[in-house]
Structure 1
Amino acid sequence: MKKMKWLLLTLALVVLSSVLVACGDDSSDAESTDELSGSVAVDGSGTVYPLMARIAEEYMLTEGEGVSVEVARSGTSAGFKKFLEEDGTDFNDASRQIKTEEQQTADELGIEVKELKVALDGLTFVIHPDNDWATELTEEQVINIFKADSDINNWSDINPEWPDEKINTYGPNENHGTYEFFYESILEEADLKSDVDLQQDYSTLVTLVNQDENAIGFFGFGYYVNNQDQLGAVHVDFGDGPVEPSLDTISEDGAYAPFTRPVFTYLNLNHAEEKAQVLDYAIYLMENVNTFAGETGFAPLPEEEVQTEVDFLKGLTE
């Protein structure tokens, strides 16, 4: 009888120990799979905004349900001002590279900045959908339409058979990297005509061009793609015949190369090291950027370029 009691007691202790071990394992698993929380602040380029907003939306739906990724679009230059300050934004989207003076500000503040190239964009010149005469222009003609010292003011100055009407020009203002790319890289810093209508909001530019039969404006390819029911796109002849801006032609060594540019987001590495959700989002961003580039109007990057950045970011977790 005593032997039986001893066996029962031993069996009970074994069962109790198993339960405690199992409970301990559950606790460990729960701690290791704790959901990330907090926020990620992104600002900057209006051109890059559609891509970054789409990735942020997907991240919050599928990967970081406890993280709020807030994407704004104040423009590249205005965004850098918010990025390069104490407790600034975590990312700044940019349709140009960081300037020397901006990098100097980062250095002075002790902000370690990581440039992440995210896609390729084609500068697109848009016209009214009823404009059936200026659908093909040479690179020189496009430039001279906007240059202050050119003789092109009316459509008929390009071709006497075209309307003898003043060309009304539109584009993004100085807050935008697209303006800076156009001014610095395309116009080579030549003065613009004084009456170019420069706007902060891209949707305003779409409306202005759509309502003006003699309009021509410029912005990133994505805004044309998303509004092509309201706009026409100029096919540009760079010397070998007119080229339509498209995901197939937008490339750094392709047919639309002279008007192609890389676009970026800049990561505050200090924040990435301090806030787990910022680094997690950065890794997700680069792992998925090519997936969403095409649907938002950007040409994807070579996979090896993307993988290099993913490897760098994952290295920060080690």
Structure 2
Amino acid sequence: MKPVKVLTLSALVGSALVMGACGNNNADNGAGGNGEEGQDAQLQGQISIDGSSTVYPIAEAVAEEFMLEQPDVKVTVGLSGTGGGFEKFIAGETQMSNASRPIKDEEAQGLKDAGIDYTELQLAYDGLSVVVNKENEWVDQLTIDELKKLWLDNGKTKKWSDIREGWPAEEIKFYSPGTDSGTFDYFDEVILDGGQIDKSATLSEDDNVLVQGVTGDKNSIGYFGYAYYLENKDNLKVVPIVNGEGKAVTPDAETIKSGEYEPLSRPLYTYVSNSAVKEDEAVKAYTQFTLENAAALAEDVGYVALPEEEYTKQLETIEGLK
């Protein structure tokens, strides 16, 4: 899904971004070189990235801006889901892997077995958003227990009246990210508790399918990353979630960053091959460019930036891989 603002990011970020990118793309000294020769140097190569559809809007924005500065570097970004991305990362098909959850033990072991050392980088915060059809007038908020009651399979067809007294006796239609999605994994961890999702749910790695499903049926419910809700907010109704303090909270930049929107707030990640950073100047420059501009680009596509010092620490880590 392509954010509508991506193509105007240069104007928004300004000349500081451009100068930062040029300064970091130094073919002789590596990204971050300070010499005038290095600032004018152009890189060449191909960078392949895959993974989370939730992280995709940020990754796509970064790729487009980077290729404006380095037109001889081709960056491709796929969205096969967090799990699918890690499979390609382990197979050596990509240099970076986007994820909407931390890497699993078995995935880390797969990388170890393949001889691939990696670095985990946080890009932004997301608030997993629960949405219903715009014509749904009865769902005003949901507790965690009601979310469990909704989504956990009980072998029966569920109606809204089964969830709360007074709600209509209409069958609920469920739309969920697919099982390769880090968003599914996160929802499974905090809501399903490892249980079986309702067997009637439509699962898809493509968030567009989920949006279309919820917008097309009055009795539907779904969930996905905050950016996809923002892009479709005129056609969807986001549901406030009751947090641990008993307060019904709607996801927005402030509640996600503060952690008030819990337990559905989470960080978003990218994982980069250490050897690719060390051996390929284009990968190193791209990784640094990502961290230098993630705050502005993430907020432009609907996510919440980390504190500036977190990006600085991670830049130092990448620089230390030389």
TM-score, normalised via structure 2 length = 0.84
Q: Which amino acid aligns with 1:227?
A: N
**Residues 109-120 of structure 1 correspond to what in structure 2 (within 5 A)?**
109-120=114-125
Structure 1 stretches lacking a partner, 5+ long: 1-27
Q: 2:36, 2:254 → 1: CA distance?
A: 47
CA contact (8 A) 2:190 2:263 kept: no
**Which residue of 45, 65, 68 maps to 2:74?**
68
C-alpha deviation, 1:265, in angstroms? 0.3
Q: Check the 8 A contact 1:123/1:221 in 2, yes or no.
A: yes
Amino acid at match of 1:180: D
Shift of 1:254: 2.3
User: Is there any run of 5+ residues in structure 2 with no aligned partner, and where?
Assistant: 1-34
Q: Deviations over 1:132-189 (max 9, x none)?
A: 1113122221221001249992112233322110111110111111111111232211
| Counterpart among 248, 264, 288 of residue 254 in structure 2 | 248
RMSD across aligned positions (CA) = 1.9
Distance 1:42 1:161, change over 3 A: same
Give the Å deviation of 1:91.
Answer: 0.5
| Equivalent position to 1:51, from 49, 58, 82 | 58
Q: Letter of the aligned partner of 2:318 in structure 1?
A: L
If the length of structure 1 is used for normalisation, what is the TM-score? Answer: 0.85
Is 2:126 the counterpart of 1:121?
A: yes
Alignment of 1:72-221 (within 5 A): 72-86=78-92, 88-149=93-154, 153-221=158-226
Give deviations 1:99-140, integer Å, cap 9, x for gaps.
Answer: 111111111111111100111111111110111111312222
Deviation of residue 75 (structure 1)? 0.7
Per-residue deviation, 1:31: 8.0
CA–CA separation in structure 1 for the residues paired with 2:73 and 2:305: 26
Asked if structure 1 preserves the Cα contact closer than 8 Å seen for 2:160 and 2:168, the reply is: yes
Given candidates 299, 307, 314, the residue that maps to 2:304 is: 299
Instruction: After TM superposition, give the deviation of residue 66 of structure 1 in Å.
Output: 2.0
Distance 1:95 1:303 in 2: 20
Q: Secondary structure at the match of 2:252?
A: coil
Distance 1:92 1:188 in 2: 26
How far apart are residue 222 of structure 1 and its match?
Answer: 0.9
- The one-letter code sitting in structure 2 at the alignment partner of 1:269 is N
Q: Is the contact made by 1:145 and 1:152 (CA closer than 8 Å) also made in structure 2?
A: no
How many correspondences in the alignment? 287
Q: Is the 8 A contact 2:147 2:191 kept in 1?
A: no
CA contact (8 A) 2:51 2:80 kept: yes
What residue identity is the alignment partner of 2:178?
Answer: N
Contact between 1:151 and 1:157, CA under 8 Å: does it hold in 2? Answer: no
Q: Structure 1 residues 171-180 or 153-162, which shifts more?
A: 153-162
Aligned twin of 1:41: 48
Q: Tell me the amino acid that sits aligned with residue 242 of structure 1.
A: A
1:177-233 CA-to-partner distances (Å, cap 9, x unmatched) read 111111123221122222111112110111011000000001111111111121110
Q: Is the 8 Å Cα contact of residues 144 and 150 (structure 1) preserved in structure 2?
A: no
Q: Rg larger in 1 or in 2? A: 1
Cα distance, 1:258 vs structure 2: 0.9
Is the alpha carbon distance of 1:30 and 1:248 closer, same or farther for their aligned partners in structure 2, counting shifts above 3 Å? closer
The answer to which of 156-165 and 195-204 deviates more is 156-165
**Other-structure match for 1:311:** 316
Secondary structure at the counterpart of residue 305 of structure 2:
coil
Residue in 1 aligned with 2:32?
Answer: none
Q: Distance in 1 between matches of 2:313 and 2:174?
A: 41
Q: Distance in 2 between matches of 1:300 and 1:93?
A: 16
